[in-house]
Amino acid sequence: MEQEQRRYWLALRTISGLGIHGLRTLLAAFGTPQRVFSASLDTLCSIPGIGKIIARRIVAFNDWAALEEELAYYDREKISLLSWQDAFYPSLLPHIYDPPALLFTKGVLQEDEKCIAVVGSRLATVYGTFITEKLCRELAVQGITVVSGMARGIDSAAHRGALAGLGRTIAVLGNGPDIIYPPENSTLCRRILERGALLTEYPAKTPPHQSHFPARNRIISGMSLGVLVVEAGERSGSLITAKFALEQNREVFAIPGAIDAPGSKGPHKLLKEGAILVETIDDILDVIAPHLDRISRYPSVSQEMPEKTGKILPTEAPRPELTGDEKALWSQLRGSPKEVDELIGSTGLACQTVQRLLTMLEVKGYIQKMPGSKYKLRE
């Protein structure tokens, strides 16, 4: 976001009674927040759905000095502001019913992340912690960004797993970006900032509050292709995240557990309602593969933004290494595009194996699917 625009976005955020839909209406009419504050009272009142009360509050706003102090604090703390008009605003998030107009971030965001959310109980079992770290490590190796809430238990395990896979992870907070909660996650937070980002709709110095977390959960699901629930009780907040995912037309995945374990109640409920059972990451990758036509984890130099945006981009990363079977299938795609049946015949592998390997090659960015179910090497 350009420096000059930040103050106007913050100012709009302070206008009491101006909801997300009113803000959309104003931006559709004026283009930028700066033009909103330059408009006359009569002009604002003429915008359908705004009304005299909101219009008067906009015209009367005059607390610019306080906003400048707030922005100076953000600069010192390396906190960036993202509006839904910015390139690095999570690409799926604007499509939910009530996306946050403004996000406060620390760390590194990338354009058009391919994300999977992983959520679960704060009282994670040894098994739940182990399987979460394992699956998230494997997802990270395949170039998938792991999104969670940095809470105790499963959330923390998800972030640790992604970091162990030398991948990216994003923590969506229920407080300001300058507050670490829970406090014992200070080391984890520092590691996340090295390879990912903190993201929140709450401004700096906002303490965590119970009411913030359900709202936070809609962002976790809304910026992701799907939500994986590992362990959760019958009334767990993770089920709220899964509910948001369904409302947002996202995939819901669940890991089964022991039938008599309290933490199995939530995942088993979701499975009965049609969630996708997960035993390995292939169960996730097979479902999200159609969305992975381009892996943005490997940005080109041309994607770098001007210095004035304040966004820090990582250096270009190499593609993940291929297994022996993946290399064998990849070599068969040299030359012209091929159909699945051709690849089955030339490799002698089973249909299910070829489909799985094609998914992995697509996820890793080596091949792309074409019309007619043909595959070719990515240029």
pLDDT tens string 52-107: 999 999 999 999 999 999 999 999 999 999 998 888 899 899 888 888 989 999 99
Q: How far is CA 346 from the centre of its chain?
A: 39
- Total length of the chain: 379
CATH 3.40.50.10490 matches 107-291: no
Alpha helices in the chain (DSSP H): 3-14, 20-30, 33-38, 41-45, 51-60, 64-77, 126-141, 154-164, 186-195, 212-222, 237-247, 265-272, 282-288, 324-332, 340-347, 351-363
pLDDT tens for 242-277 read: 999 999 999 999 999 999 999 999 999 999 999 999
Encoded amino acid at 120, one letter? G
Determine what percent of the chain is predicted with pLDDT higher than 90.
59
Which uninterrupted H or E stretch holds 177? none
Could you tell me how many helices (H) and strands (E) the chain has, helices first?
16, 12
DSSP, collapsed to helix, strand or coil, labels residue 74 as helix
Work out the burial of residue 152: count CB atoms within 10 Å of its CB; fewer than 13 is exposed, 13-18 middle, 19 or more buried.
middle
Q: Let me know: does 32 contact 12? Beta carbons within 8 Å.
A: no
Determine what percent of the chain is predicted with pLDDT higher than 70.
90
| Domain 3-77: homologous superfamily in CATH | 5' to 3' exonuclease, C-terminal subdomain (1.10.150.20)
| pLDDT mean over 158-163 | 96
| pLDDT for the residue numbered 61 | 92
Is pLDDT larger for residue 276 or for residue 358? Answer: 276
**CATH architecture assigned to 319-377:** Orthogonal Bundle (1.10)
| pLDDT for the residue numbered 317 | 37
Match 């302070």 to its residue by tokens: 14
| pLDDT for the residue numbered 314 | 34
The whole model's pTM is what? Answer: 0.74
Q: Taking phi first (over 0 means left), then psi (-120 to 50 degrees means alpha), and beta for anything else, what does residue 235 get? A: alpha
Q: How many CA atoms lie within 13 A of 46 on its CB side?
A: 8
Q: How far apart are CA 142 and CA 43, in angstroms?
A: 52
Q: How far apart are CA 115 and CA 140, in angstroms?
A: 10
| pLDDT for the residue numbered 152 | 95
Q: How far apart are CA 90 and CA 379, in angstroms?
A: 26
| pLDDT for the residue numbered 196 | 95
Encoded amino acid at 42, one letter? D
β-strand pairing of 276-277 with 80-83: unpaired
| pLDDT for the residue numbered 5 | 86
User: 199 is written with which tokens?
Assistant: 């993201």
Is pLDDT larger for residue 152 or for residue 348? Answer: 152
- Is residue 289's pLDDT more than 80? yes
CA distances 30 to 36, 39, 53, Å, are: 6, 9, 19
β-strand pairing of 80-83 with 169-172: unpaired
Encoded amino acid at 296, one letter? S
| pLDDT for the residue numbered 379 | 64
| pLDDT for the residue numbered 360 | 73
Q: How far apart are CA 158 and CA 220, in angstroms?
A: 13
| pLDDT for the residue numbered 291 | 74
User: 301 is written with which tokens?
Assistant: 């130099």
Q: Are 3-77 and 319-377 the same fold in CATH?
A: no
Q: How far apart are CA 376 and CA 90, in angstroms?
A: 29
Residue 344's pLDDT band, with cuts at 50, 70 and 90, is confident
**Which residues contact residue 8 at a Cβ distance below 8 angstroms, ignoring those fewer than 6 apart?**
32, 33, 34, 36, 37
| pLDDT for the residue numbered 310 | 33
Is pLDDT larger for residue 223 or for residue 344? Answer: 223
| pLDDT for the residue numbered 93 | 92
Partnered with residue 251 across adjacent β-strands are: 226
Separation of first and last alpha carbons in the chain:
32
| pLDDT for the residue numbered 22 | 86
| pLDDT for the residue numbered 315 | 33
| pLDDT for the residue numbered 123 | 93
Q: Let me know: does 1 contact 80? Beta carbons within 8 Å.
A: yes
| pLDDT for the residue numbered 335 | 79
Q: How far is CA 43 from the centre of its chain?
A: 37
pLDDT tens for 11-49 read: 998 888 887 788 888 988 988 899 999 999 999 999 888
Work out the burial of residue 306: count CB atoms within 10 Å of its CB; fewer than 13 is exposed, 13-18 middle, 19 or more buried.
exposed
DSSP, collapsed to helix, strand or coil, labels residue 250 as coil
* Domain ranges, ordered by start, for the chain: 3-77, 107-291, 319-377
